[in-house]
A and B are shown apart, each in its own frame.
Chain A
């Protein structure tokens, strides 16, 4: 056996690190465990409006439909023994119908629910805190790191500043509703129902407005601040990844002043939603609301009967200029053998057609989009009727 120096000295200079994504979609085996629990979702404010309490059961994680709880007797009582009965306008949706009933700052309200199974649930008295005025709401074009792709995200970051609150410490909760105007990718030029009906400007179903709740939770408390005022607090961020900013965007911000208990409920929900997927996650847990079964307090009841002082503001932002949009505008189009195709989908008539390559000295090519969403904005979930509040 001979030992020659350096024979075994292999210099490895290439250091390869093969990396795959470390976060991937995953669905564990959760068994068929599902808890059907009563969910209460109610809000009364100091605003003169009809207040709604929704009653439903929790739904399974996947493929479950929301089950509404119907036929309950729903009452709101204030601390002066005034009681108002809510009426069920839609299955599981109970509203106040008496316009004289309006939340009063400083007064306390209690929700009582009697179910047809003769169970009674109560919230305990909740104080209506004085509302704090929204001083300013503004949006700023900002870039943020993109968790899913190489490029940075671009979009509008909305900020709020409030007036000074009366109380030393104020507990905020922001509920937001967004509406955006968008266009379908192509205009409708013909409606085909056996014959080609030309469509004139303004083309229908080209522009829609879609309204939805911003499903993010935003809370803040001034406990750790020197003044009971907030300024430049970032709320919702809307990006150019979707059509939301493609034409015009509006955000209705409702600033609610909460009791400490209600704030804790929402703050904990916010933390729980945001605090998952980091290296230092906290244990998720069942966040308890303020409703309970008066006979059996052990029964889990989800949700909150929220009583809050409210102020709201609406803001509009136009399509940002000089930015890249990342939503897809591709649509499959059928142009060859169009007539045969149209007759083969006779059951779908009337169908919308568009014209491609118009102008440049040609009449263009009539085409059938493979997906109606390409020409009919309503297919994307919006409504072609302009909302009352919309400012052009």
Chain B
């Protein structure tokens, strides 16, 4: 398009003299000015940057539509006099072909006065709304837009463009009606409706309803938008997209207004004429935030409207500025700043969710379970940061498609490759380097994403004041590759592979390495535009090797591996808009090689011990239904039936009737053949949840969950050790069963800028696996002789206040909780702590987390965390005594005391590279200080007898500020 063309279309507008390309440059500059101008008007246009974008779109829009609207000229007779505003609107909408758009809440109740019979709609509205500071605007399609106090930008500052283009004469257009309308439309893109016809009349003959289905994708990279909502305004009904961005909606045939929105995209509104079943693919523009790059998700609406509770969602982007140890971006570690998530100590590997031990969580990388998520003894997590898109933590209300863990699901979603263009990003932190590349195979259809990370130094170990660790070596790496292939619009293939590796050598001549591998192939099929079928095959393997030369006489090597082979099928059925049903099953075949304990060399006298293998099949069939009884009240229910079989070949010991399971009580040995069922367990899982919305800003939710777990971790250390292994339940060790009741209040206030939630829970676990005092799990052929099963009782209340958006954003949460374990039996050897209840190792009654981000500008932001928690329970000495001249410490009852309280402040500064639009790559620096005050938080307190005296010591992991500088880069500019 050339300049003259513009002039011809509209010679009154100065902007038309500008080339489109030029507009883009202005856009950036203008944004800065707009920031200043709009500071006072943010109430109406939530983000200045968005306003800019709309303006720019608006400019383009003006060029193409020069028709005058007609609605303003509609005559309004006296018969409309004295109607309430709502009646007035309803009647007009009914009688005339016009449609009003306004926020119901924003218009006060008033009565419409009509002065004379010859009034036009425009005059009437101006007379009635003007004094209320409400404006009206009209478009050519008969739409009327009502906004409160919305200052319409009728022109740019008169001399604004002079500086940029001296050649173009400045023409200041006089204020005109047409301009006002066009500008209004321009500045309110979300009100611009586009009519879309779905289906054909022919196909729809004789049917009352039709189904529209399709994908919602992001316009810039063609990736599916998960959880986008589609809302039919007239029917006040809607749906949301699934993990593939797919939706399906059955409606009455006819015209509907469809609003498509998602958290980080611009809202789109469509006038849809539904003639028959058909397809609608929606492309959403990314919402560009100027001041809210740090998006702390958990969709604003979800907080109130979804039935989901005990649910946390973090996007990788939202946590990128949160300070972490060594500047290593670690979204899973950020989970520790969420309510109800604890760890035993700083840098410890396990996560304790709502009072449960660490092995009651499962970590999924897409569909691949990761059995050991720790790198470097637990300081970091084994997920390539560049590959993670977001993660969701389910703490109480776990969807029925997930089974097998009592406490929580950490559902980590890998990034899907960009479907439009090649892109690359990476980072260099003090200990690792990482790189991620992505791009399309076939544009808009198939893409790849490959990310790798590896250490290049293990100097962090030198920082830890423990000579064993200082003199150790460590290496770790991880990689993720994600492929998304669209076979055709109804069939998608998703392939993910995952790998992580750790190699650690300790000064004490111990070397161990472990790795996770996994692959999943998923087929997503859309049936009939309405239903979905997902079929996934998953393979995961965790393997561990240890070489120990501490004692030459008994130098050994030991291995272990766990194979997880799974098939999952899930049907999502949408009989109508009030119901969404998921049915499916999954079946896991576990193959465990408990390993060989072998002499490491010829000198070693170690006896070769084969610890045996284990096989088990865990199958679950489930149905999950969400039923919207009314827009305010909805319930969701899930039922899952678990069947678990422990299979041969195996040698099983039988113990004397009524006797404790101890080696001396073995009365018989039974051998089972291959695939013979040794023991099977089955049990129902329930998932019930209900939500009631009191006001658009307040809802209450309640849920009940019952679950079973058939695999557990062999661990009797306080913190999870990297050498801990998994074990299947068998004929002696019973499956764990957990129940959780939760109740919550959810509220948004301060115009949705603040989100508040309070959730209380009570949890009970039966058959919790604990270990006898002094149990040795390394070379134990008969694990059941060291296992005791007891009960866990946990309860708590979590308060969370979040400010998800704005220059200043973040959250604060406080949790009060309790978690107690009781292991009792008929003989002293079957009890722990003499059969008395004791607090769990991770029981920290008071926990407070504060996360704050402040964005000074698009380039400079600061973040800080403040963490407080009660010290974990600990067993302290109460007396000393002597045996054979050696001083011995006598200890209190288990966990009778507490460590000193934990307190930490972190701080980070994030500095983005320049904001040039055209640049080859964009870099950013992150400077972070972990433990700013250098407080020596106790990891443990222990006692030693030295020269006849008992001395106490406090071990701190990071007893000083840990300062780090990380550089991240990517192709392209700041935005993409």
Which residues of A line the B interface, CB within 8 A? 1, 3, 5-6, 8-10, 12, 15-28, 30, 33-37, 39, 41, 43, 54, 56, 58-62, 64, 66, 145-147, 175, 212-217, 224-227, 229-234, 264, 268-269, 271-273, 276-288, 302-304, 306
Q: Does B377 contact A (CB under 8 A)?
A: yes
**A20 to B718, Cβ gap below 8 A?**
no
User: Quick one: which of B455-475 are within 8 Å of A by CB?
Assistant: 463-469, 471
State how many angstroms separate the Cβ of B64 from the closest Cβ of chain A.
Answer: 32
User: Quick one: which of B899-957 are within 8 Å of A by CB?
Assistant: 899-900, 911, 913-916, 925, 927, 934, 936, 938-945, 948, 950-957
What are 19 contact pairs spanning A and B, CB under 8 A?
Answer: A3-B914, A9-B913, A12-B927, A12-B965, A18-B963, A19-B465, A20-B936, A22-B465, A24-B936, A28-B899, A30-B876, A30-B877, A58-B890, A59-B879, A225-B607, A234-B551, A279-B469, A280-B717, A286-B891
Q: Does B716 contact A (CB under 8 A)?
A: yes
Of A25, A56, A213, the residue contacting B953 (CB under 8 A) is A25
**A226 to B551, Cβ gap below 8 A?**
no
Interface window among B14-22, B43-51, B283-291, B881-889: B881-889
**B463 to A269, Cβ gap below 8 A?**
no
Given contacts A8-B859, A8-B911, A225-B605, contact A22 B963 (CB under 8 A): no
State how many angstroms separate the Cβ of B348 from the closest Cβ of chain A.
Answer: 8
State how many angstroms separate the Cβ of B828 from the closest Cβ of chain A.
Answer: 8
Point out the residues of chain A lying under 8 angstroms from B936, CB to CB: 20, 22, 24
Complex: how many Å from CA A273 to CA B552?
A: 22
Question: Of residues B464, B721, B952, which shows the largest number of chain A Cβ atoms within 10 Å of its Cβ?
Answer: B952
6 closest A-B pairs by beta carbon, nearest first, are: A213-B885, A5-B914, A26-B954, A22-B465, A276-B942, A58-B879
Of B430, B554, B881, B885, the residue contacting A37 (CB under 8 A) is B881
**A304 to B952, Cβ gap below 8 A?**
no
Point out the residues of chain B lying under 8 angstroms from A25, CB to CB: 951-954
Complex: how many Å from CA A281 to CA B716?
A: 9
Complex: how many Å from CA A379 to CA B468?
A: 37
Point out the residues of chain A lying under 8 angstroms from B773, CB to CB: 268, 283, 285, 287
Complex: how many Å from CA A6 to CA B430?
A: 23
Point out the residues of chain A lying under 8 angstroms from B347, CB to CB: 279
State how many angstroms separate the Cβ of A333 from the closest Cβ of chain B.
Answer: 27
Give the residue name and chain of the B residue nearest to A33 (CB). Answer: B878
Point out the residues of chain B lying under 8 angstroms from A9, CB to CB: 911, 913-914, 925
Point out the residues of chain A lying under 8 angstroms from B731, CB to CB: none
**B467 to A269, Cβ gap below 8 A?**
no
**A224 to B916, Cβ gap below 8 A?**
no
Q: How many residues of B are in contact with the other chain, CB < 8 A?
A: 98
State how many angstroms separate the Cβ of A66 from the closest Cβ of chain B.
Answer: 7
**B952 to A6, Cβ gap below 8 A?**
no
**B886 to A213, Cβ gap below 8 A?**
yes
Complex: how many Å from CA A283 to CA B963?
A: 33
Q: Does B659 contact A (CB under 8 A)?
A: no
Give the residue name and chain of the B residue nearest to A303 (CB). Answer: B883
Complex: how many Å from CA A1 to CA B774?
A: 68
Point out the residues of chain A lying under 8 angstroms from B348, CB to CB: 279
State how many angstroms separate the Cβ of A59 from the closest Cβ of chain B.
Answer: 6
**A231 to B553, Cβ gap below 8 A?**
yes
Point out the residues of chain A lying under 8 angstroms from B890, CB to CB: 35, 37, 58, 286, 302
Q: Does B563 contact A (CB under 8 A)?
A: no
**B934 to A33, Cβ gap below 8 A?**
no
Supplied contacts A175-B884, A212-B885, A273-B889, 5 more A-B pairs, CB within 8 Å? A15-B964, A22-B960, A30-B877, A276-B942, A281-B717
Q: Does B782 contact A (CB under 8 A)?
A: no
Q: Does B235 contact A (CB under 8 A)?
A: no
Complex: how many Å from CA A204 to CA B888?
A: 37
Point out the residues of chain B lying under 8 angstroms from A306, CB to CB: 884
Give the residue name and chain of the A residue nearest to B957 (CB). Answer: A22
Given contacts A21-B959, A145-B467, contact A39 B32 (CB under 8 A): no
Q: Does B897 contact A (CB under 8 A)?
A: yes
User: Quick one: which of B528-577 are within 8 Å of A by CB?
Assistant: 551-554, 556
Q: Does B199 contact A (CB under 8 A)?
A: no
State how many angstroms separate the Cβ of A42 from the closest Cβ of chain B.
Answer: 10
Q: Does B597 contact A (CB under 8 A)?
A: yes
Q: Does B880 contact A (CB under 8 A)?
A: yes
Say whether chain B's binding surface is mostly helix, strand, loop, or mixed. Answer: mixed
Given contacts A20-B934, A21-B959, A23-B954, contact A225 B554 (CB under 8 A): yes
**B553 to A30, Cβ gap below 8 A?**
no
Which residues of B line the A interface, CB within 8 A? 32, 35-36, 347-348, 377, 430, 463-469, 471, 507, 551-554, 556, 597, 599, 605-609, 716-719, 721, 773-774, 779, 828, 833, 841, 859-860, 875-892, 894-895, 897, 899-900, 911, 913-916, 925, 927, 934, 936, 938-945, 948, 950-965
Complex: how many Å from CA A215 to CA B936?
A: 31
Point out the residues of chain B lying under 8 angstroms from A27, CB to CB: 952
Of A145, A230, A268, the residue contacting B471 (CB under 8 A) is A145
Of A23, A66, A226, A288, the residue contacting B882 (CB under 8 A) is A66
Complex: how many Å from CA A106 to CA B859?
A: 82
**B888 to A269, Cβ gap below 8 A?**
yes
Complex: how many Å from CA A12 to CA B926?
A: 10
Given contacts A35-B890, A229-B605, contact A280 B719 (CB under 8 A): yes
Given contacts A12-B925, A273-B945, contact A224 B606 (CB under 8 A): yes
State how many angstroms separate the Cβ of B736 from the closest Cβ of chain A.
Answer: 20
Point out the residues of chain B lying under 8 angstroms from A20, CB to CB: 934, 936, 959-960
**B888 to A277, Cβ gap below 8 A?**
no
Point out the residues of chain B lying under 8 angstroms from A34, CB to CB: 878-879
**B554 to A224, Cβ gap below 8 A?**
yes
Of B471, B841, B878, B925, the residue contacting A10 (CB under 8 A) is B925
Point out the residues of chain A lying under 8 angstroms from B925, CB to CB: 9-10, 12
Given contacts A20-B959, A37-B890, A233-B551, contact A282 B717 (CB under 8 A): yes
**B963 to A15, Cβ gap below 8 A?**
yes
State how many angstroms separate the Cβ of A236 from the closest Cβ of chain B.
Answer: 12
Of B719, B877, B882, B938, the residue contacting A56 (CB under 8 A) is B882
Give the residue name and chain of the A residue nearest to B347 (CB). Answer: A279
Give the residue name and chain of the A residue nearest to B773 (CB). Answer: A285
Give the residue name and chain of the B residue nearest to A41 (CB). Answer: B883
**B894 to A285, Cβ gap below 8 A?**
yes
**A22 to B881, Cβ gap below 8 A?**
no
State how many angstroms separate the Cβ of B773 from the closest Cβ of chain A.
Answer: 4
Give the residue name and chain of the A residue nearest to B720 (CB). Answer: A280
State how many angstroms separate the Cβ of B914 from the closest Cβ of chain A.
Answer: 4
Complex: how many Å from CA A26 to CA B897?
A: 15
**A224 to B883, Cβ gap below 8 A?**
no
Given contacts A226-B607, A277-B955, contact A61 B942 (CB under 8 A): no
Give the residue name and chain of the A residue nearest to B961 (CB). Answer: A18
Question: Of residues A19, A217, A264, A302, which shows the largest number of chain B Cβ atoms within 10 Å of its Cβ?
Answer: A19
**A282 to B960, Cβ gap below 8 A?**
no
State how many angstroms separate the Cβ of B496 from the closest Cβ of chain A.
Answer: 32
**B885 to A224, Cβ gap below 8 A?**
no
Of A215, A277, A285, the residue contacting B942 (CB under 8 A) is A277
**A224 to B911, Cβ gap below 8 A?**
no
Complex: how many Å from CA A137 to CA B908?
A: 59
State how many angstroms separate the Cβ of A171 from the closest Cβ of chain B.
Answer: 14
**A1 to B36, Cβ gap below 8 A?**
yes
**A35 to B552, Cβ gap below 8 A?**
no
Give the residue name and chain of the B residue nearest to A228 (CB). Answer: B605
**A30 to B878, Cβ gap below 8 A?**
yes
Given contacts A66-B882, A145-B471, A281-B940, contact A287 B774 (CB under 8 A): yes
Given contacts A1-B36, A215-B887, A283-B773, contact A19 B960 (CB under 8 A): yes
Point out the residues of chain A lying under 8 angstroms from B943, CB to CB: 276
**B953 to A3, Cβ gap below 8 A?**
no
Given contacts A43-B884, A280-B721, contact A233 B553 (CB under 8 A): yes
Given contacts A1-B36, A3-B914, A231-B553, contact A23 B466 (CB under 8 A): yes
**A22 to B955, Cβ gap below 8 A?**
yes
Of A18, A59, A215, the residue contacting B945 (CB under 8 A) is A215
State how many angstroms separate the Cβ of A184 from the closest Cβ of chain B.
Answer: 20
